[in-house]
Amino acid sequence: MSRDTEVVEIAVLDDYQGVALEMADWSVLDGSARVVVFRDHIADERALIERLRPFDVVCVMRERTPLRRAVIESLPRLKMIASTGPRNSSIDATAAGERGIVVTSTGYFSEPAVELTWTLIHALARNVVAEVNSVRTGGWQRSVGVDLAGRVLGVLGLGNIGSRVAAVGTAFGMKVIAWSENLTRDRAEQAGAELVSKELLFRQSDVLTVHLILSRRTRGLVGRDELALMKPDARLVNTSRGPIVDESALIECLTKHRIGGAAIDAFDVEPLPADHPFRTLDNVVATPHVGYVSQNLYRTFYGDTVANIAKWLDSPR
């Protein structure tokens, strides 16, 4: 499609903070495209289809809005899906390919996720939320925090993010153990961790942090049996993907105080329903999937998205 054709309609979805237009130079598309930004999230598929019917290009932020086959096949004008991140399992790439729809991705770096993981670990260990709330309501010290030095950090998935989380754990004087299905002893040692069995990972960890890609193999990997192995004062951290942890099993475990607590940044349903137990349980620190929400990464996401659209507009069709 060349720049002398009719104006291309572009939808930018789920811009929760209202910053999409500030994070990149969208002016390079002026004269060729009109950009409409939506800050709200639509979960209902029919309503989503109705919203997206007028658009040629749909920009999605990670997995906030799934574009399944039923949606893609109901959008006759759709020619391009511009997704952020290197992969997006919530897009039916097969359905898009069958209709000749271009699907693009962007650059990514893991530092924001690593940093948030450690923010949540510290928040759990030192009861930060409860102590902050105490100060805000006129109170003072309420609890005695847990030392991390000398404790065991369990890393479930020692890939790009998990290995960096492990390195920080070592710097804090923690013993680091790890397991994943394909993890080797050499790879674990290179990351400063000890390879253990899955059972020992759950039994020995004082803090267990999840860093796996969501797949058929990992969905529900942390279930009732695994949670039952954990120490009564152990903490679970999930900044990866919600469905890796069996949500109902974790809610039951936390409600009965079978483990020390959990910090969660990714959920089965997002945005999290208003009446969800994770919003009220006193042993949960819940953040709204902000592991990748940082200024530099957003600039990469939206900057690459604009570049991808500009390249597509200039390509022959």
For the stretch 96-106, pLDDT in tens is 999 999 999 99
For residue 256, being part of any structural domain is answered with yes
Residue length of the chain = 317
CB 16 within 8 A of CB 298: no
CB 312 within 8 A of CB 8: no
* 54 and 150 co-located in one domain: no
pLDDT the model gives residue 6: 83
Give the domain range for residue 23: 8-108+294-314
* 270 and 305 co-located in one domain: no
CATH number reported for the structural domain that contains residue 173 in this entry:
3.40.50.720
Mean pLDDT calculated for residue range 17-24: 98
Q: What is the pLDDT of residues 229-263, one digit of tens each?
A: 999 999 999 999 999 999 999 999 999 999 999 99
* 42 and 142 co-located in one domain: no
Number of domain units in the chain: 2
Q: List the catalytic residue out of 62, 164, 235, 289.
A: 289
* 158 and 259 co-located in one domain: yes
* 56 and 127 co-located in one domain: no
Q: List the catalytic residue out of 51, 62, 241, 247.
A: 241
For residue 210, being part of any structural domain is answered with yes
Mean pLDDT calculated for residue range 129-144: 97
* 170 and 67 co-located in one domain: no
For residue 2, being part of any structural domain is answered with no
* 67 and 165 co-located in one domain: no
Distance CA 230, CA 206 (A): 8
Give the rounded percent of residues in the chain with a pLDDT score beyond 70: 98
Q: List the catalytic residue out of 270, 276, 279, 317.
A: 270
Check pLDDT > 70 for residue 2.
Answer: no
For residue 3, being part of any structural domain is answered with no
Known catalytic residue: 289? yes
What pTM, to 2 d.p., does this model score? 0.94
pLDDT the model gives residue 307: 98
* 57 and 157 co-located in one domain: no
Known catalytic residue: 164? no
* 97 and 133 co-located in one domain: no
Q: What is the pLDDT of residues 197-207, one digit of tens each?
A: 999 999 999 99
* 104 and 117 co-located in one domain: no
* 199 and 260 co-located in one domain: yes
Check pLDDT > 70 for residue 5.
Answer: no
For residue 16, being part of any structural domain is answered with yes
Known catalytic residue: 189? no
Q: Average per-residue pLDDT in the chain? A: 96
For residue 59, being part of any structural domain is answered with yes
Determine how many CB atoms are found less than 10 A away from the CB of residue 255: 11
Check pLDDT > 80 for residue 304.
Answer: yes
* 135 and 280 co-located in one domain: yes
Mean pLDDT calculated for residue range 113-129: 98
Comparing 4 with 58, the larger pLDDT belongs to 58
Assigned token pair, 275: 């009446």
Mean pLDDT calculated for residue range 117-145: 97
For residue 272, being part of any structural domain is answered with yes
Per-residue pLDDT band for 316 (boundaries 50, 70, 90) equals confident
Q: What is the pLDDT of residues 54-98, one digit of tens each?
A: 999 999 999 999 999 999 999 999 999 999 999 899 999 999 999
For residue 1, being part of any structural domain is answered with no
